[in-house]
């Protein structure tokens, strides 16, 4: 909303008074990208933006290119300048440089936000843009453009399904599922595929770690255990046993069957028989558990370790602490906390610490987490020993 207001103010100031001219985009873009918090570089940015907003329409691709590496604050200035140049030209009866904009859109090395803006400019003057351009963006690195492409594929699949062409519809839903990175679209396509009796492996698609070694409970009285360095934080030997909260504890193996990788520590540490319900005990309150997994990478790579957890938590990759979140019962969702790390080629270790507090309310009894490994746009990164076909979730 603020962005739209900002853009509207810009256009009111400029439309009718701007005279298009060739400007030094590189220098002006540098000044816009120097804008920082608390007004840093603001005065210089205003002057640069005023000049950039009067650029010749042919320079639109160059202005968009200047957005590469810009922060979110700077992106607003660029967007306002681009919209001003485009709308001023259209108001005087001119045309946008469609070929140049489409060429920019096709350059995946450019800023995802800038490429999305280029598409919006094209679509604003060409009603065929969606049909011509969006289907080719299913595997685009821009999450916004990819989302549009997946949405179009889902719509196409729905039409095929309604026409009774279930086999072709399933293929189209599968294409959409494979490309989907947004959770809502993953849920929609997976449900559609299952309704058409197709197998769907969400844990593999999203990169959830499902095989863990677990140990606990350790003491977290008065929440003090969050900062206590229990033995698993020093080193992990799966044959070791430790002094736990009330008794000796040992590592146990666990494979979660939850389609979103949720590990329920209450159930695991009660070790109920098949089909039995668990009963909460004092062992589950003011308690800490550790989860350990080994990840074999085919090559070194920067990755996201994204955790969802309703309890306080810490995550280590190869002994390096990546994130620490001392928050209890504030909700749990996929990708709730994002940590960035680097896998080394070969074996890597992932360690998670999950801390439960003392609350007695029924809603405060959940003790669980989920973790996935993916790249910066959410594409799963899988351990080499992960068999994608072995544990397909239906």
Interatomic CA distance for residues 333 and 325, integer angstroms: 14
**pLDDT tens digits along 68-123:** 999 988 999 999 999 999 999 999 999 999 999 999 999 999 999 999 999 999 99
Would you say residue 149 has pLDDT above 60?
yes
> What pLDDT score does 14 carry?
45
> What pLDDT score does 394 carry?
33
Pair 326, 312: CB distance under 8 Å:
yes
The pLDDT confidence band at residue 388, using thresholds 50, 70 and 90, is low
**Average pLDDT of the segment spanning 141-164:** 97
Interatomic CA distance for residues 229 and 116, integer angstroms: 46
pTM of the model: 0.86
**pLDDT tens digits along 291-315:** 999 999 999 999 999 999 999 999 9
Would you say residue 389 has pLDDT above 70?
no
Would you say residue 324 has pLDDT above 80?
yes
Pair 334, 306: CB distance under 8 Å:
yes
> What pLDDT score does 11 carry?
45
Q: Which CATH number fits domain 206-374: 3.90.1330.10, 3.90.850.10, 2.60.120.380, 3.90.1720.10?
A: 2.60.120.380
What are 115's two structure tokens? 């490429």
**% of the chain at pLDDT higher than 70:** 89
> What pLDDT score does 15 carry?
43
The pLDDT confidence band at residue 378, using thresholds 50, 70 and 90, is very high
Distance of CA 365 to the CA centre of its chain: 28
Domain boundaries of the chain, sorted by first residue: 2-126, 143-200, 206-374
> What pLDDT score does 37 carry?
79
Average pLDDT along the chain: 90
């Amino acid at each position: 909303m603020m962005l739209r207001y900002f853009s509207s103010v810009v256009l009111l100031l400029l439309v009718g008074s701007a005279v298009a001219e060739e400007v030094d985009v590189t220098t002006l873009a540098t000044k816009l990208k120097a804008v920082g918090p608390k007004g840093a570089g603001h005065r210089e940015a205003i002057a640069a933006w005023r000049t950039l907003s009067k650029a010749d329409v042919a320079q639109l691709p160059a202005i968009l290119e200047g957005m590469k590496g810009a922060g979110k604050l700077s992106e607003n200035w660029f967007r306002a300048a681009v919209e001003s140049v485009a709308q001023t030209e259209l108001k005087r009866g001119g045309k946008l440089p469609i070929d140049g904009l489409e060429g920019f859109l096709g350059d995946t090395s450019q800023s995802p936000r800038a490429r999305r803006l280029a598409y919006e400019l094209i679509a604003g003057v060409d009603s065929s843009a969606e049909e011509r351009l969006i289907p080719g963006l299913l595997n685009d690195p821009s999450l916004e453009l990819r989302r549009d492409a997946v949405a179009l594929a889902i719509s196409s699949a729905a039409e095929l399904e309604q026409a009774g062409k279930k086999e072709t519809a399933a293929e189209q839903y599968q294409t959409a599922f494979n490309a989907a990175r947004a959770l809502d679209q993953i849920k929609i396509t997976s449900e559609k595929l299952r309704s058409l009796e197709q197998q769907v492996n969400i844990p593999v698609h999203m990169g959830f770690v499902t095989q863990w070694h677990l140990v606990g409970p350790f003491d977290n009285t008065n929440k003090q255990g969050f900062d206590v360095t229990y033995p698993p934080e020093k080193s992990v030997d799966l044959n070791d046993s430790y002094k736990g909260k009330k008794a000796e504890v040992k590592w146990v193996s666990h494979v979660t069957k939850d389609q979103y990788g949720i590990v329920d520590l209450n159930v695991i540490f009660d070790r109920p028989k098949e089909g039995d319900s668990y009963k909460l005990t004092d062992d589950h309150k003011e308690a800490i558990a550790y989860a350990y997994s080994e990840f074999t990478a085919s090559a070194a790579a920067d990755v996201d370790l994204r955790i969802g957890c309703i309890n306080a938590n810490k995550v280590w990759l190869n002994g390096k602490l990546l994130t620490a979140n001392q928050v209890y019962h504030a909700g749990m969702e996929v990708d709730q906390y994002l940590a960035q790390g680097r896998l080394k080629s070969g074996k890597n270790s992932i360690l998670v610490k999950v801390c439960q507090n003392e609350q007695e309310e029924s809603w405060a009894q959940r003790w669980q987490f989920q973790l996935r490994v993916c790249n910066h746009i959410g594409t799963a990164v899988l351990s080499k020993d992960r068999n994608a076909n072995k544990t397909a979730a239906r």
